[in-house]
């Protein structure tokens, strides 16, 4: 059976208890090998991929985004639900809130960001006026509402190269440019999904106020702690969205 839905997440998002017939799968792509899990939820096959690898060992700037998206395309995936921790630049978007982002600003520096490198794939310029799937965002909004979770229906995601956090001046600049949130993994994942003609949306989970906005220094521990406190909500949100 073709796998039409995929979840790209981090630690904790994948819960084997709610899936049946789970199997590990290795998918070979022109960009490298990808490990993922395929299980069933309410009779629907769903692929689960940890973008940082099974043991969470790959940092954001070294994730093989092309292999990950190519693997999902090869499985026949049409819809991708991605999750990601973000810092907030917008006082209305508080730690613990979810944001179904509708735009991104790309400040990455050193990533393979396209399938269209010339050669066999050719030279293609993909439209990304609306990089995130509006239908899927609407489903996520409905799911959040039905679960009583605080969620924002839109927002602009700034993607930095990482792995360091930002300077206070960078955050001030991103705010002036219209950014609401900052993270390290959303791009080129979103644009590659678009190149692959898949419907893609991100569940951005606010874990902290960004550098210079927060009165305290940001630590990785803080980000992980808030993520872990909210992981049950992310799981519920994903499962509710998949059920629809
Ligand atoms: N900056 C970049 N990436 C992040 C942050 C942040 O403040 N929080 C979670 N991921």
pLDDT tens digits along 197-218: 999 999 999 999 999 998 888 8
Residue with CA nearest ligand 1 atom 9: 86
pLDDT number for residue 16? 64
**49 has pLDDT over 90:** yes
pTM to 2 decimals? 0.95
Instruction: Give 231's pLDDT tier (boundaries 50, 70, 90).
Output: confident
Confidence of residue 12 (pLDDT cuts 50, 70, 90): low
* 10 pLDDT above the threshold of 80: no
Q: Is 223 in the pocket of ligand 1 (CB under 6 A)?
A: yes
Residue 18 in this model has a pLDDT that exceeds 70: yes
The response to whether residue 205 sits with its C-beta less than 6 Å from ligand 1 reads no
Asked whether 122 and 231 are in contact (CB, 8 A), the reply is no
8 Å CB contact between 45 and 1 = yes
Q: Do 37 and 72 meet the contact criterion of CB atoms below 8 Å apart? A: no
Closest approach atom of ligand 1 to CA 218: 7
Closest atom of ligand 1 to 211 CA is 7
Q: Cα separations (Å) of 1 from 4, 92, 140, 166?
A: 9, 43, 25, 44
Question: Which residue is closest in CA terms to ligand 1's atom 2?
Answer: 183
Sign of CA dihedral 220, 11, 193, 35: positive
- Which of 160, 26, 31 minimizes the C-alpha distance to 105? 160
pLDDT at position 14 over 80? no
With 70 as the cut, is the pLDDT of residue 86 above it?
yes
The minimum-distance atom of ligand 1 relative to the CA of 88 is 7
Reference 205, options 87, 103, 102, 90; nearest CA is: 87
CB distance 184 to ligand 1 below 6 Å: yes
If you ran DSSP here, which 8-state letter would residue 118 be given?
Answer: B
Token pair recorded at residue 184: 């390290």
* 50-56 long-range contacts, CB within 8 A, separation 24+: 50/8, 50/9, 50/10, 50/11, 50/14, 51/8, 51/9, 51/10, 51/82, 51/185, 51/189, 52/10, 52/11, 56/10, 56/11
Mean pLDDT of the chain: 92
Q: Is the CB of 85 under 6 A from ligand 1?
A: yes
Q: What is the DSSP letter of 2?
A: -
What is the number of the ligand 1 atom nearest to the C-alpha of 183?
3
């Amino acid at each position: 059976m073709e796998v039409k839905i995929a979840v790209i997440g981090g630690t904790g998002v994948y819960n084997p208890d709610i899936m049946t017939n789970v199997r590990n799968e290795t998918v070979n792509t022109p960009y490298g090998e990808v490990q993922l899990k395929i299980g069933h939820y309410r009779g629907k096959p769903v692929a689960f991929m940890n973008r940082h690898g099974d043991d969470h060992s790959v940092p954001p700037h070294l994730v093989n985004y092309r292999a990950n998206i190519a693997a999902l395309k090869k499985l026949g995936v049409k819809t991708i639900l991605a999750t990601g921790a973000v810092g907030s630049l917008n006082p209305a978007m508080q730690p613990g809130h979810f944001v179904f982002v509708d735009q991104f600003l790309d400040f990455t520096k050193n990533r393979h960001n396209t399938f269209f490198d010339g050669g066999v794939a050719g030279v293609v310029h993909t439209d990304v006026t609306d990089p995130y799937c509006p239908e899927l965002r609407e489903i996520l909004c409905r799911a959040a509402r039905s679960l009583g979770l605080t969620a924002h229906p839109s927002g602009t995601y700034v993607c930095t190269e990482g792995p360091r956090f930002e300077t206070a001046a960078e955050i001030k600049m991103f705010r002036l440019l219209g950014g609401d949130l900052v993270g390290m993994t959303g791009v080129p994942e979103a644009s590659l999904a678009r190149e692959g003609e898949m419907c893609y949306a991100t569940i951005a989970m606010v874990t902290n106020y960004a550098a210079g906005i927060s009165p305290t220094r940001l630590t990785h521990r803080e980000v992980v702690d808030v993520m872990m406190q909210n992981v049950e909500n992310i799981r519920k949100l994903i499962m509710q969205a998949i059920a629809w």
